[in-house]
Amino acid sequence: MVLQHRIRAPCLVLDGTSGIAVAGGEPNEATSEFYDPDSGAWSPLPDMPVSLKYAGGAGWGGELFVAGGEGDDGAYSGAVYALRSDGRWEDVGPIPGPAGEDGVVWHAVTLADKDDIGC
Which residues, including other chains, have CB under 8 Å from residue 75's CB and lie 6 or more apart? 98
Sign of the dihedral through C-alpha 67, 96, 100, 56: negative
From edge to edge, which strands make up the β-sheet containing 11-13? 11-13, 20-23, 32-36, 41-45
The number of residues in the chain equals: 119
Position 90 pLDDT exceeds 90: yes
Residue ranges per structural domain of the chain: 11-112
Its sign, for the CA torsion 106, 54, 73, 22, is negative
The string of pLDDT tens digits covering residues 65-85 is 888 888 888 888 888 898 988
Please state, as a whole number, how many other Cβ atoms lie within 10 Å of the Cβ of residue 46. 16
Enter the pTM of the model.
0.76
